[in-house]
Structure formats: C-alpha cells, structure tokens
Amino acid sequence: MINRIKLEHILEYARQQRHIGQHCKIPPGDMVEIMEIAMRKAGNSPVTPDGWISCSERMPPVGVDVQLFVSSTGEQFTGFNLDNTGDFQYAQCFGAPIVCEATHWMPLPEPPKEVRQ
C-alpha cells in the first residue's frame, strides 16, 4: 500500500505534467485521475505500508471490531475500542471485559462470500 504522502507527490507531478504538456507512457490527465481515486481510497490517515494504523495517530471508531496489535508482546487480537482511552476489549471472562493496550489497528477484511453451486 502506498502512503498518502507518496500519493500527494505523484499527484502533484502528474498535475504539472498535464499543464506543461509533457508526454509519458500514461497520459498525464489519466494519471491525475488515477492518483485522485487512489488518494480518496487511502483516506487521510497515516498508514504503514502493511496497513496498520498507529493508535497514537488515529483511533478506530468506538465499538467497531478491528484487528489489533500490541507491540510490547507482539500479539494480535480482534477487538474493539472501548471508549477512546486506549483500552481495547478483545474477550470476556464471566461477564468482565478482558482488555489490552493496542499500539496499532487495521480494519477487518470483508468476510468471505458464499459460492453457490
């Protein structure tokens, strides 16, 4: 995944090429359109190349399941942001939440679609 800063540089270059009429293998107008689409999909959050988002930069929405990473232990869990305090619930034991202090998160992938035969 390309980070947003790289996308912004590529987009600016494509815009300059479009205005000064330079030729390249991809027409500059098409490149601008491609980069604008990529930037909309990328959003404006700092994301590492592997898709992890730092909790110090942006927290996931409260109550939404996400993939969590705890850097001090190297563990990963599926859990949710309890209340934007840095605690994430990933399990329950006898009705009490089991929490971790995740350092990074990423959205869960889409579930598989059933193939009908």
Q: What percent of the chain has pLDDT over 70?
A: 57
Q: Which of 21-30, 81-90, 94-103 has the lowest mean pLDDT?
A: 21-30
Q: How far apart are CA 33 and CA 52, in angstroms?
A: 26
What digits encode the pLDDT tens for the residues 27-71? 666 666 776 666 666 555 555 556 899 998 889 999 999 999 999
Q: What are the φ/ψ torsions at residue 16 (nearest 5 degrees)? A: -65, -45
The stretches of 43-95 forming alpha helices (DSSP H) are none
Crossing angle of the two packed helices 28-42 and 4-20, in degrees rounded to 10: 160
